[in-house]
Structure 1
Amino acid sequence: MTIANATPRRHRCARKRPKQTSCVGGIGPVRSCLVALTFLLNLHLGSAQQENDHGDTSTATTKQQTIAEPLLVESSGLAASSREPGYFWSHNDSGDSARMFAFNDRGQTSGRCQLVAASAIDCEDMASFLFGGRSHLLLADCGDNQRRRSSISLHLVEEPDPTKTTMIHRVGTIVVSYPDGPADCEAVAVDVDRGQILLITKNSLPIARVYAVNLDCLNDPLPWTKHASATYMGAFAMPMVTAADINPRNGDLWVANYFKGFCFRCRDRNASLAAQLNSLPEPAELPPWRQIEAIGVDAKGDVWVTSEGSPASFGRILIPPPTPLRK
C-alpha cells in the first residue's frame, strides 16, 4: 500500500467557517494504474500471509446472528459500546433521523437513542470512544453519493445507557468541509491517540482518500456547533471503502469494502498515520451476507460486522486475538 502526500497538519476547530484551501495534489492516470496493481498485489500477498505478531486474519469466519430491532432496516454503521461491554450501537442509512439503536452481542434489542438537536441527511458510519475519561458516540452524516454537499456533519454526544431509550439534547456538531471539494464518505473512525477523526472516501476507482478533523473540539462543554476544514492526509489503494474503526486496545485500523476487511496494523503507537497506512494491510474474509457496510471493534479487540436488510445480519469475525503491543 502507498500513501501520497501524507504530511499531517493540525486544524483546530473554529466557530467560523475557514476558507477552503486548494487541493493537495492529485493522482494521475499512470499512477492510478500503478496503485490499482498495488492493490491487487496486496490482496494476493495478504491472502498468502500466515502468522504475524497480531494474529492471522486470512482465515476469518463469522457466526451469523440477526438484530431484533424492527426499525433498523439498513444498518450502515456499527460501534461497540465503550460504556457497557457486550453492547453495540447501529443506525440506518439515508432517509432516517439522527437516531441510533442499541443491542447486545446476541442481537437482542436493548435501547434507542434520538439526537433531538441534530438533523440527518445521509448517516453512513458511527464510532464509540473514550475522551476525557467519558464514553462518547459519533454519528457521521457524511454520505454524498452525488458529491454535491458543500459540507457534512459529525454529531458527537456522551454515550447514553445502551439499555434505555434516551432523548439527547446536548449535541456537539462539527460542520466539516473538504479542502478539495465534495466527497462521498462512508467510513469514519476516531483515533483518540492522535486526537483525530478520520474520514475515508468511497470511490469506484481503487483510490481511497484520507482526511482528518481535530478532536479537541470535545474539550468544550456540549452543546455547540463548530466549523472545521478537514486536513488531507493522503491516499491508499482500495476501492469502495464502506466502513472503518480503530481497535482501542492497540490502535489497529480496520477498513472494509464490499469484498473484504483489511487491517492496518499499528506496530508503533508513536508512529504517524502515514506510516501506519504505508504498511501492507492484512485481509480478512467477510461473510457472504447482503451488502456489509459496517465494522466495529470492541474493547477486547474483537471485530464485528453488520449487513443491510431487515433483520440485519450481525456477527463477530473469528480471528485469533492480537498479541499485546510491545512498548
Structure 2
Amino acid sequence: MVGTISSSLIRESSGLVHSRCQENVLWTHNDSGDKNRIFAVDTKGKLIGTWHVTGARNRDWEDMSTFKDENGKCFLFVGDTGNNGRLRSNVTIYKLEEPIVTKQKGKTPATARAEAISFPYPDLRHDSEAIFVHPKSQDLYVITKRITGAAGVYRIKKGKRTAEKVTDIEVPSVPNGLITGAAISPDGERVLLCDYFGGYEFRLPEDSESFDDIWKVQGELVDLGTRAQGEAVAYSSDGLSIYATSEKRNSPLIKVTLVE
C-alpha cells in the first residue's frame, strides 16, 4: 500500500488508469449514482483535481482506460457499461481528451466534449465492469461479468459502433466469472483482469499474429493485497507495476511491482 484515497468525493473507486502524459497522475471515477465527473489523484492517493465530463451521463460507470496517440495526445475512455438488471439494450463508452492537471480554485471545470461510443451486444444483454483500449489498434475490449458461466470478451473496432464476440474465457479461481476490472499494459502485450480479491495476468504468446491469441493462454495469479471490494486496476505508465483500489470510502491505493 502506497497511500489512501481519502477524499470524501471519491466514495467508490470503480475505474483507474495511470496517465501516459502526466507523471504521477492517476484518474478514477465513482460507480453509479454519482455525477458525470472524473478525479485526478497523485500516486499517494491525494485528490489533485475534479472535472465534469461534458456530454456524458453516469448511468453506471464501471471502468476506464487510456490511450496515447501518435501525436502524443492522451485520451481517457470511461465505460458506462454496468447493466445489473439487463435493462439496457445499448451501453456506452465515452472517449475524451485527458484534462491537464493544474491547481483548481472555485467552480469545478469541465472537460472537452466527450465522444459517446454506444453499442449493443450481438447476442444478449450483458453486465460489464471491465474495459480497455488496445494501445496500438485503438480497438475497445469489454469483458462481461457473469453470475454463472465464463466471462465473455467483446471487441468494438476503432470507429465502429457494434460489438463482436471474440471468445469466452474461464479464469481459474474466479467464482462464476465475476470480473470487476481490466487493464492492458502500455506495450499491449499483457492484460490484467481482476475480481473482488485478486488479479489474473494474461501474456501474449511470442510470435503471435493476432492480439486475440492472448485469450488462449492461462492467466497467472497476481496478488493485489487486501482489498475490501476490489473493482479497479491499472498498469503503471512504464508497465512495471500495477495500481489497485477498492470500491469503499478511504480506499487503500495499492502498488504491486511486477517481477519478470
TM-score by length of 2: 0.90
Q: 1:234 aligns with which of 160, 167, 174?
A: 167
- Write out per-residue CA displacement over residues 96-117 of structure 1, whole angstroms, 9 at most, x where no aligned residue: 1221100111111111121122
What does residue 25 of structure 2 align with? 87
Return closer, same or farther for 1:234/1:250 CA change in 2, 3 Å cut-off. Answer: closer
Kept in 1, the 8 Å contact 2:65–2:77? The answer is yes
Letter in 2 for 1:203: R
RMSD after superposition: 1.7
Kept in 2, the 8 Å contact 1:186–1:201? The answer is yes
What does residue 254 of structure 2 align with? 315
Once the two structures are TM-superposed, the CA of residue 250 in structure 1 deviates from its matched residue by: 4.8
Once the two structures are TM-superposed, the CA of residue 153 in structure 1 deviates from its matched residue by: 1.0
Kept in 2, the 8 Å contact 1:83–1:161? The answer is no
Once the two structures are TM-superposed, the CA of residue 270 in structure 1 deviates from its matched residue by: 5.1
Kept in 1, the 8 Å contact 2:64–2:77? The answer is yes
**1:253 counterpart SS class:** strand
Q: Distance in 2 between matches of 1:119 and 1:263?
A: 31
What does residue 147 of structure 2 align with? 204
Question: For 1:37-56, what aligned pairs fall within 5 Å after superposition?
Answer: none
Once the two structures are TM-superposed, the CA of residue 273 in structure 1 deviates from its matched residue by: 3.3
Return closer, same or farther for 1:319/1:206 CA change in 2, 3 Å cut-off. Answer: farther
- Write out per-residue CA displacement over residues 177-219 of structure 1, whole angstroms, 9 at most, x where no aligned residue: 10112100000011132331000000122401000112246xx
The answer to whether the aligner puts 1:175 opposite 2:95 as a matched pair is no
Q: Distance in 1 between matches of 2:31 and 2:102?
A: 22
Q: Distance in 2 between matches of 1:235 and 1:160?
A: 35
- Write out per-residue CA displacement over residues 141-187 of structure 1, whole angstroms, 9 at most, x where no aligned residue: 00001111010111101101134553124211111110112100000
Kept in 1, the 8 Å contact 2:196–2:228? The answer is no
**1:276 counterpart SS class:** helix
What does residue 257 of structure 1 align with? 195
Q: Which runs of 5+ in 1 are unaligned?
A: 1-62, 218-227, 323-327
What percent identity do the matched residue pairs reach? 30
Return closer, same or farther for 1:247/1:90 CA change in 2, 3 Å cut-off. Answer: same
Q: Distance in 1 between matches of 2:103 and 2:159?
A: 29
Letter in 2 for 1:108: K
What does residue 192 of structure 1 align with? 135
Q: Distance in 1 between matches of 2:6 and 2:29?
A: 13
What does residue 274 of structure 1 align with? 212
Kept in 1, the 8 Å contact 2:231–2:246? The answer is yes
The count of corresponding residues between Structure 1 and Structure 2 is 249
Return closer, same or farther for 1:296/1:105 CA change in 2, 3 Å cut-off. Answer: same
Report which structure shows greater RCO (CA 8 Å, sep ≥6): 1
Q: Which ranges of 4 or more aligned residues in structure 1 deviate by more than 4 Å?
A: none
Once the two structures are TM-superposed, the CA of residue 127 in structure 1 deviates from its matched residue by: 0.8
**2:34 counterpart SS class:** coil
Q: If each structure's helix is expressed as a fraction of its own residues, which one has the higher value? A: 1
What does residue 121 of structure 1 align with? 59
Kept in 2, the 8 Å contact 1:213–1:230? The answer is yes
Q: Distance in 1 between matches of 2:193 and 2:118?
A: 24
What does residue 56 of structure 1 align with? none
Return closer, same or farther for 1:315/1:259 CA change in 2, 3 Å cut-off. Answer: closer
Q: 1:289 aligns with which of 215, 219, 227?
A: 227
- Write out per-residue CA displacement over residues 40-88 of structure 1, whole angstroms, 9 at most, x where no aligned residue: xxxxxxxxxxxxxxxxxxxxxxx25211322000110001111102110
